[in-house]
Amino acid sequence: MNPLADRVSLISDSITLAVSAKANAMKKAGIDVVGFGAGEPDFDTPTFIKDSAKAELDAGRTKYTPTPCFPELKAAIAQKFNTENNLPYKPEQVTVGAGGKFCLYMAFMATLNPGDEVLIPSPYWVSYPEQVKLAGGIPRIIRGEESNGFKITPAQLQSAITAKTKVLILNSPSNPAGHAYTPEELTALADVVAMHPHLLVFSDEIYEKLVYNGLKFVSFATLHPSLMDRTLTFNCHSKSFAMTGWRVGYVGGPKPIIDAMNKLQSQMTSHITSFTQMPAALALTDPRGKESVEAMRVEFERRGHHMHERLAALPGITCVKPAGAFYCFPNISSYLGKSIGGVNLTDAVSFAAALLAQAHVAVVPGNDSGFDTHIRLSFATSMEQIDKGIDRIKAFLAKS
């Protein structure tokens, strides 16, 4: 008898993980690997947030809390949505879960019936299609073309919506391509959504604070009066406050969906870790929170511009300039079909594997994001590492 449930085979093993496992093994063996794989800030969590967690532990805040959290955290999140995003969510329209990832998973579980379709613009964050499948839904990809900065157009969206479409996912600024929609472009998508009242929108805004080139961030649900009742707005502390390991994610949305997510969570994890809750509230309410995010944003913008300039100057490589998040997503297709160091390059996975083995540079192949012709490089690393890694990539490509 197969001990495993069928649902396990529904989801793919991550090819990305294989490359990062290899990079880690090489580092452990003492090899000087330049890592561009990180999906997290290289900054530490701000001291005032860490101090708050220490105080919570010392005060004995180590027991069960209400599902999904203490009222203070819900209130801080609602206030953040109200004041920073112009989203009038009340505390009862907010829920909290173990990172943005678990919040998205709960939302799919709370809204999808078997066979419901979910529109996912590509390139996409690797977990969206897998979570949709786990929840019984069917992912439908809308391809964002590089020639349009990886953004989907209103016409593409319009033609992808069918009677079976239940949810549209939007992620701006985006992982993995670092692209971000302007308010005008998002409004044009909102106008399409407004014509389809059966459609829910999951707006993944976790990179909202990391925008560059003077881009103005707007929350999707503000863009049309009908959207508040059918948009879930996702956010988390992971990227804004360099708190990836703390697992704090949150969502604002229509009360019936939030209630359903709380019902699910009450039987799953109950709540996030007790002593992270008040620090998470403090991060949102203390002015030092905003200061630390802005300091990080300025530094990421500087690094992102530098990495982009250097990548775009490599022969045969094109690269869209990042407008947000901390990723460049260069196109390596002109090298596919060639061989480097005796290795035939057939797609981004073989390219990334050869680059790691021969040049000791770790990148993320775009295959898991729907693009097997692109690689993702994170600029959440120092300028020195960026230059060293791109010098190595240049020498690697010169061997083709």
The site for ligand PLP (CB under 6 A) is made up of 39, 99-101, 125, 171, 175, 204, 206, 236, 238, 244, 249
Dist CA 227 CA 189 (whole Å): 12
Minimal distance in Å, beta carbon 347 to ligand PLP?
Answer: 22
Dist CA 43 CA 370 (whole Å): 29
Dist CA 94 CA 77 (whole Å): 7
If the CB atoms of residues 359 and 366 are measured against ligand PLP, the closer one turns out to be 366
If the CB atoms of residues 179 and 310 are measured against ligand PLP, the closer one turns out to be 179
Q: Is the CB of residue 370 less than 8 Å from the CB of residue 122?
A: yes
Q: What angle do CA 393, 398, 399 make, to 5 degrees?
A: 105
Q: Which residues pair with 203 in a beta bridge?
A: 170, 233
Minimal distance in Å, beta carbon 188 to ligand PLP?
Answer: 22
Residue nearest to ligand PLP (CB): 99
If the CB atoms of residues 205 and 372 are measured against ligand PLP, the closer one turns out to be 205
If the CB atoms of residues 234 and 396 are measured against ligand PLP, the closer one turns out to be 234
Q: Is the CB of residue 364 less than 8 Å from the CB of residue 37?
A: yes
Minimal distance in Å, beta carbon 399 to ligand PLP?
Answer: 32
Minimal distance in Å, beta carbon 299 to ligand PLP?
Answer: 19
Peptide bond into 176 cis (omega under 30): yes
If the CB atoms of residues 111 and 238 are measured against ligand PLP, the closer one turns out to be 238
Minimal distance in Å, beta carbon 309 to ligand PLP?
Answer: 24
**Tokens 């863009």, residue?**
223
Minimal distance in Å, beta carbon 367 to ligand PLP?
Answer: 16
Dist CA 124 CA 120 (whole Å): 7
If the CB atoms of residues 42 and 204 are measured against ligand PLP, the closer one turns out to be 204
Minimal distance in Å, beta carbon 232 to ligand PLP?
Answer: 13
Minimal distance in Å, beta carbon 52 to ligand PLP?
Answer: 19
Alpha helices for 141-273 (secondary structure H): 154-160, 183-194, 255-268
Dist CA 178 CA 190 (whole Å): 21
Minimal distance in Å, beta carbon 57 to ligand PLP?
Answer: 22
Alpha helices for the chain (secondary structure H): 6-10, 15-28, 47-58, 71-85, 99-111, 127-134, 154-160, 183-194, 255-268, 274-285, 287-312, 348-359, 383-398
Dist CA 133 CA 137 (whole Å): 5
If the CB atoms of residues 241 and 351 are measured against ligand PLP, the closer one turns out to be 241
Tell which phi-psi region holds residue 115, choosing left (phi > 0), alpha (psi between -120 and 50) or beta. Answer: left
Q: H-helix or E-strand containing 201?
A: strand 200-204
3-state secondary structure of 362: strand
Dist CA 59 CA 38 (whole Å): 34
If the CB atoms of residues 126 and 340 are measured against ligand PLP, the closer one turns out to be 126
Minimal distance in Å, beta carbon 335 to ligand PLP?
Answer: 26
If the CB atoms of residues 206 and 218 are measured against ligand PLP, the closer one turns out to be 206
If the CB atoms of residues 125 and 379 are measured against ligand PLP, the closer one turns out to be 125
3-state secondary structure of 34: strand
